[in-house]
């Protein structure tokens, strides 16, 4: 190369320019094609609100029953009894169990699928952990701290919402799949040990095929949403684009202060949609988010009247059924049902079928947004590592592009020296 004449150097420069431009054009083209087909565009919630059937009282009965069978620890009889009850209650769903060994216990995930005949193949996944916590480390009474807690809000509330929703879904005439994912061993974590939580959700997500993941248009976790003093914000490691679909639904239901509901009344301050109010939490949504799946989590982090974040009855023996209200369960259940009725969580149907193959540019866009509001729990190093893990294709071409620029600079320098 060094001995080549000036003309051939110019030729090389032209070739590099052409290659560089092609890479950029291909990237831009793929990105815009992906974005146009992976957009949410749900209907107006107020057009559908009168048909919402979700029954908070029925859901609350399930919370009572779940706590009555005792702690749902992984591997326990109560855990098996709850799984059996869920599948017996939802006869139109097909259920599968999968077990995994972790620490000194075996966890069992329960996954129910409803797939209508005319399904586009897109899949909305609702997620709740059905295990309850093995200790109540925050209890005021020291002798109780090593004992399993009732888990009425932290466990039973999310399960109750999913069961009630599961009863309604077959009558909704949906054109996509719905999955009800009851995770085990979300809440067996050791305090302050990040990697000991959400074992069940982690195991499920890491065993999904690429094709299955690509078809998940929304992965929506509900956890601790039965608090009689319900209020929640966005949480870290979630999809801003997916949260944006929730705002009009929550507003229609009168859950946002400053927004009028379908009757024209000002909403209560139950959901704060401000991205700046986002809180950091590690839960069943993180594995999905890190795998490039659009995920959000409805979670009320201050349990009880005037409770502090991660305070109140959380992880204490006061997490009992009387602290959970039918009304709160109905608010959350209604968001989920209304989201399904308005098609808020499926992508535009047109191009979805034939773009399963390659990359996730729309998710890449989300993660850029997320980086702007990255919470202080996750280090910048973790974020960068996640980006590389999630988008190896883009990282690869990013690397090539940078290399091209450097080569151009070197070649231009030779030219100047000549
Ligand atoms: Zn918990």
Q: Which helix (H) or strand (E) segment is 100 a member of?
A: strand 94-102
Domain assignment present for residue 404? The answer is: yes
Percent of the chain with pLDDT over 90: 73
Q: Report which of 356, 359, 357 is spatially closest to residue 395, judged by C-alpha positions.
A: 359
Higher model confidence: residue 337 or residue 364? 337
Q: Which residues contact 115 (CB under 8 A, 6 or more apart)?
A: 177
Q: State residue 38's pLDDT score.
A: 85
C-alpha 380 – ligand 1 centre gap (Å): 26
328 plus 385 within the same structural domain:
no
Q: How far is the CA of 61 from the centre of ligand 1 (A)?
A: 21
Residues 13-47 pLDDT 10s: 566 556 655 555 555 555 555 555 689 999 999 99
Q: Which two tokens stand for residue 114?
A: 């409803």
Confirm whether 93 is domain-assigned: yes
Residue with the bigger pLDDT between 45 and 407: it is 45
Strand 123-129 vs strand 94-102: parallel, antiparallel, or unpaired? unpaired
Residues 141-194 pLDDT 10s: 999 999 999 999 999 999 999 999 999 999 999 999 999 999 999 999 999 898
Residue 350 belongs to a domain = no
| Residue listed under structure tokens 């749902």 | 72
Looking at the structure of the chain, the number of domains it has is 2
* Mean pLDDT, the chain, integer: 85
**pLDDT tens digits, one per residue of 77-87:** 999 999 999 99
Q: Are residues 65 and 192 both part of a single domain?
A: yes
Residue 198 CA to ligand 1 center (angstroms) comes to 10
Residue 134 in any domain: the answer is: yes
65 CA from centroid of ligand 1 (Å): 19
Region 290-318: mean pLDDT is: 97
Task: Indicate whether 166 and 249 sit together in one domain.
Answer: yes
Pair (24, 101) in one structural domain: no
3-state secondary structure 185-207: CCCCCCCCCHHHCCHHHHHHHHC
- For ligand 1, the distance from its centroid to the CA atom of residue 80, given in whole angstroms, is 20
Q: What is the pLDDT of residue 362?
A: 41
Q: 240 vs 361, which has greater pLDDT?
A: 240
Domain of residue 382: give its range.
Answer: 6-38+355-417
| Cα–Cα distance, 218 to 239 (Å, whole number) | 9
Tally helices (H) and strands (E) across the chain.
12, 10
Tell whether 1 is covered by a domain.
no
Q: Is residue 83 domain-shared with residue 118, that is, in the same domain?
A: yes
Closest CA to 243 of 183, 282, 311, 289: 289
291 and 408 share one domain? no
Per-residue pLDDT for 294 more than 90?
yes
- Using the mean position of ligand 1's atoms as its centre, give its distance from the Cα of residue 154 in Å: 5
Is residue 287 one of the residues assigned to a domain? yes
> Which residues of 239-343 form beta strands (DSSP E)?
271-272, 295-299, 302-303, 311-312
Closest CA to 163 of 187, 184, 182, 177: 182
Q: Is residue 98 part of a domain?
A: yes
24 and 107 assigned to the same domain: no
Per-residue pLDDT for 63 more than 70?
A: yes
Is there a single domain that holds both residue 88 and residue 20? Answer: no
CATH of the domain at 318: 3.40.630.10
pLDDT in tens, 220-242: 999 999 999 999 999 999 999 99
Report, as an integer, the average pLDDT of 290-319: 97
Q: Out of 314, 341, 368, pick the residue that ends a domain.
A: 341
pLDDT in the model for residue 35: 53
- Decide: 69 and 159 in contact? Cβ < 8 Å: no
Same-domain pairing of 162 and 247: yes
Residue 113 has a pLDDT of 98
Q: How far is the CA of 225 from the centre of ligand 1 (A)?
A: 12
The alpha carbon of 391 and the centre of ligand 1 are apart by a number of angstroms equal to 31
The alpha carbon of 214 and the centre of ligand 1 are apart by a number of angstroms equal to 29
Rounded to the nearest angstrom, the distance between the alpha carbon of 136 and the centre of ligand 1 is: 9
Question: Could you say which of 315, 341, 367 is where a domain stops?
Answer: 341
Q: How far are the Cα atoms of 9, 104, 146, 220, 373 from residue 126, in angstroms, in the given order?
A: 58, 28, 31, 5, 25
**Is residue 240 left, alpha or beta, with left meaning phi > 0 and alpha meaning psi from -120 to 50?**
alpha
Ligand 1 centre distance from Cα of residue 133 (Å): 6
Kindly give the distance from the C-alpha atom of residue 229 to the centroid of ligand 1, in angstroms, as a whole number: 17
Q: How far is the CA of 303 from the centre of ligand 1 (A)?
A: 11
pLDDT, tens digit, 9 for 90 and up, residues 106-148? 999 999 999 999 999 999 999 999 999 999 999 999 999 999 9
Domain-terminating residue out of 316, 341, 366: 341
pLDDT at 19: 60
Question: Strand 105-114 to strand 177-183: parallel, antiparallel, or no bridges (unpaired)?
Answer: antiparallel
pLDDT in tens, 202-226: 999 999 999 999 999 999 999 999 9
pLDDT tier at 405 (50, 70, 90 boundaries)? low
Let me know whether 33 and 146 are in one domain. no
Q: Is 348 within a domain?
A: no
Residues 114 and 249 in one domain: yes
Q: Examine the pLDDT at 366 and tell me if it is beyond 80.
A: no
Structure pTM? Answer: 0.78
Query: Which of the 8 DSSP states describes residue 55?
Result: -
What distance in angstroms lies between residue 259's CA and the mean position of ligand 1's atoms?
A: 31
CA atoms within 13 A on the CB side of 344: 25
Check whether 399 has a pLDDT greater than 80: no
- Tell me: do 277 and 325 sit in the same domain: yes
* Sign of CA pseudo-dihedral 395, 402, 37, 375: positive
């Amino acid at each position: 190369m060094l001995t080549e004449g000036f003309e051939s150097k110019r030729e090389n420069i032209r070739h590099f320019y052409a290659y560089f431009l092609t890479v950029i054009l291909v990237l831009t083209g793929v990105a815009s094609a992906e974005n146009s087909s992976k957009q949410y565009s749900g209907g107006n919630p107020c057009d559908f609100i009168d048909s919402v059937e979700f029954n908070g009282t029925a859901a609350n009965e399930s919370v009572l029953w779940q706590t009555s069978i005792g702690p749902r620890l992984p591997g326990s009889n109560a855990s098996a009894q709850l799984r059996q009850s869920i599948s017996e209650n939802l006869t139109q769903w097909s259920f599968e169990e999968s077990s995994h060994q972790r620490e000194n216990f075996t966890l069992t995930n329960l996954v129910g699928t409803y797939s209508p005949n005319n399904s586009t193949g897109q899949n909305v996944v609702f997620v709740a952990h059905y295990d309850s916590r093995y200790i109540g480390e925050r209890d005021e009474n020291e002798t109780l701290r090593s004992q399993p807690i009732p888990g009425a809000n932290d466990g039973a509330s999310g399960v109750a919402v999913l069961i009630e929703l599961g009863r309604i879904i077959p009558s909704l005439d949906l054109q996509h799949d719905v999955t009800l994912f009851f995770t085990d061993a979300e809440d067996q974590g050791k305090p302050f040990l990040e990697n000991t939580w959400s074992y069940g959700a982690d195991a499920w997500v890491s065993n999904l095929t690429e094709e299955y993941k690509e078809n998940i248009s929304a992965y929506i976790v509900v956890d601790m949403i039965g608090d009689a003093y319900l209020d929640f914000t966005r949480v870290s490691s979630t999809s801003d684009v997916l949260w944006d679909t929730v705002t009009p639904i929550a507003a229609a239901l009168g859950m946002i202060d400053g927004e009028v509901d379908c009757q024209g009344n000002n909403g209560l301050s139950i959901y704060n949609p401000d991205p700046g109010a986002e809180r950091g939490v590690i839960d069943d949504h993180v594995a999905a988010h890190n795998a490039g799946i659009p995920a959000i989590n409805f979670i009320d982090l201050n349990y009880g009247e005037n409770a502090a974040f991660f305070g109140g009855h959380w992880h204490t023996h006061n997490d009992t059924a009387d602290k959970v209200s039918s009304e709160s369960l109905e608010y959350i259940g209604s968001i989920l049902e209304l989201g399904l009725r308005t098609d808020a969580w499926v992508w535009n149907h047109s191009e979805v079928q034939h773009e399963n193959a390659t990359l996730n540019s729309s998710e890449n866009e989300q993660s850029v947004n997320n980086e702007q509001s990255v919470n202080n729990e996750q280090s910048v190093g973790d974020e960068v590592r996640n980006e590389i893990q999630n988008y190896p294709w883009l990282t690869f071409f990013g690397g090539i592009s940078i290399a091209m620029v450097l080569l151009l600079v070197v070649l231009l320098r030779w030219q100047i020296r000549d």
